Structure 1
């Protein structure tokens, strides 16, 4: 499969979001230098395998819904060395970005199909009450109301400030240590859900030309932090 390298560009942002919305609350586990480790499952009709993956956040700007970092795949069958890519991310904060992607060959239907695969997407609005049946009832009412609002306009009228999960999109921009002939593609992007509680990350890779719903599962590590938080920078 040919590899298409996407040059870094400024993604489309929300132009008419509710000005009262604020950025997600700060989370110490989603910050510059934080490292994560886990796997990405790659499934097809012929195989079912998991690549070991390391991720490190290199830059973070919550006010503008932006973050970036590196991703290292350690046991890719077609590569002789670990493959490192640089990615840029959009934080779904409604102020800068909504649940609608609007690019990268993703339709609103694709967005809904992927976001609803996250259990945290449906559980964000659950209100814990003493009565179990009431909880179940309100869970479904809130879930469908939440999903309906996302389907209508990407969730522009929602307030995600105090949610315990942060939804993002990660788009790999270029290969860091290998050439484009390494056998991998970075044409797609990741739908990502980050847990503020334990720093775990779940994601699904989307590329119309690749196996669907490749799952990314990462946990935060205790490695030393390194990175930067400048709003303007250049990697060499």
Structure 2
């Protein structure tokens, strides 16, 4: 979802966590363990909730819908659309297309390494998820390359919006930042925090899975250019 550029404030929030059952796992032909298999993280799955875009001036929350349009777990990739329904400066819902990186230790680590995010920024955002705490010390060393995430009941991701679908870039919103995301395989809930050094910090995304009909596309392999 696009986020309005605002002066940086010191607000922050935390997300909740809960225990979860074990997941299915396996190995591919190269001998690497595959990412966690989760029935709620699949093509066509829809989510709805809010994003808090509060600032020092006022509190505001946008209603948000997300749908997964593509998913390639072997390459740590997924993509989808995000729709913001009550953006004050927009006459219609604003839709963006995003691409995601799944933190699996093979394709991507907890260190972002781009989008103006330092390793300190990464640690500051990941530690807002209680489910990340067991990994903190190892992540500080190498970004979590040595971690075994295959049986963990949470999936960590980054979502980066690529373009506006139904409005122009002059709409008064920005998609310059990206989301740190934690996905629960128990109930399909999503918590995220938006990072953009030019926007209010720690804008919180909270989504729940819905029972809408599924649609989208899948592919056996996909390479980020």
Same fold (TM over 0.5): yes
Which runs of 5 or more residues in structure 1 are unaligned? 122-145
Task: Check 1:10–1:161 CA distance in 2 against 1; reply closer, same or farther (3 A cut).
Answer: closer
Q: Deviations over 1:180-210 (max 9, x none)?
A: 0111100000000000000000000000000
After TM superposition, give the deviation of residue 47 of structure 1 in Å: 1.0
Task: Please say if residues 35 and 55 of structure 1, whose CA atoms lie closer than 8 Å, have aligned partners that are also in contact.
Answer: yes
Task: Please say if residues 52 and 73 of structure 1, whose CA atoms lie closer than 8 Å, have aligned partners that are also in contact.
Answer: yes
| Secondary structure at the counterpart of residue 63 of structure 1 | helix
Q: Deviations over 1:44-76 (max 9, x none)?
A: 110111000000000000000000000000000
After TM superposition, give the deviation of residue 230 of structure 1 in Å: 1.9
Task: Please say if residues 57 and 227 of structure 1, whose CA atoms lie closer than 8 Å, have aligned partners that are also in contact.
Answer: yes
Q: Deviations over 1:83-133 (max 9, x none)?
A: 000000000000100000000000000000000000111xxxxxxxxxxxx
Extract structure 1 runs of 4+ deviating beyond 6 A. 1-18, 232-236
Task: Check 1:163–1:49 CA distance in 2 against 1; reply closer, same or farther (3 A cut).
Answer: same
Higher helix share: 1
| Secondary structure at the counterpart of residue 80 of structure 2 | strand
Task: Please say if residues 29 and 196 of structure 1, whose CA atoms lie closer than 8 Å, have aligned partners that are also in contact.
Answer: yes
Whose Rg is larger? 1
Task: Check 1:94–1:233 CA distance in 2 against 1; reply closer, same or farther (3 A cut).
Answer: closer
Task: Check 1:22–1:70 CA distance in 2 against 1; reply closer, same or farther (3 A cut).
Answer: same
Task: Please say if residues 3 and 184 of structure 1, whose CA atoms lie closer than 8 Å, have aligned partners that are also in contact.
Answer: yes
Task: Please say if residues 5 and 187 of structure 1, whose CA atoms lie closer than 8 Å, have aligned partners that are also in contact.
Answer: no
Report which stretch shifted further, 96-105 or 23-32: 23-32
Q: Deviations over 1:119-151 (max 9, x none)?
A: 111xxxxxxxxxxxxxxxxxxxxxxxx311101
Task: Please say if residues 14 and 98 of structure 1, whose CA atoms lie closer than 8 Å, have aligned partners that are also in contact.
Answer: no
- Asked whether 1:16 is paired with 2:5, we answer no
Task: Please say if residues 68 and 80 of structure 2, whose CA atoms lie closer than 8 Å, have aligned partners that are also in contact.
Answer: yes
TM-score with structure 1 setting the length: 0.80
Task: Please say if residues 33 and 57 of structure 1, whose CA atoms lie closer than 8 Å, have aligned partners that are also in contact.
Answer: yes
Which runs of 5 or more residues in structure 2 are unaligned? 8-17
After TM superposition, give the deviation of residue 232 of structure 1 in Å: 6.8
Task: Please say if residues 201 and 218 of structure 1, whose CA atoms lie closer than 8 Å, have aligned partners that are also in contact.
Answer: yes
Task: Please say if residues 79 and 182 of structure 1, whose CA atoms lie closer than 8 Å, have aligned partners that are also in contact.
Answer: yes
Cα separation, 2, equivalents of 1:10 and 1:194: 12
Task: Check 1:52–1:202 CA distance in 2 against 1; reply closer, same or farther (3 A cut).
Answer: same
Task: Check 1:78–1:231 CA distance in 2 against 1; reply closer, same or farther (3 A cut).
Answer: farther
**CA RMSD, 1 decimal:** 6.9
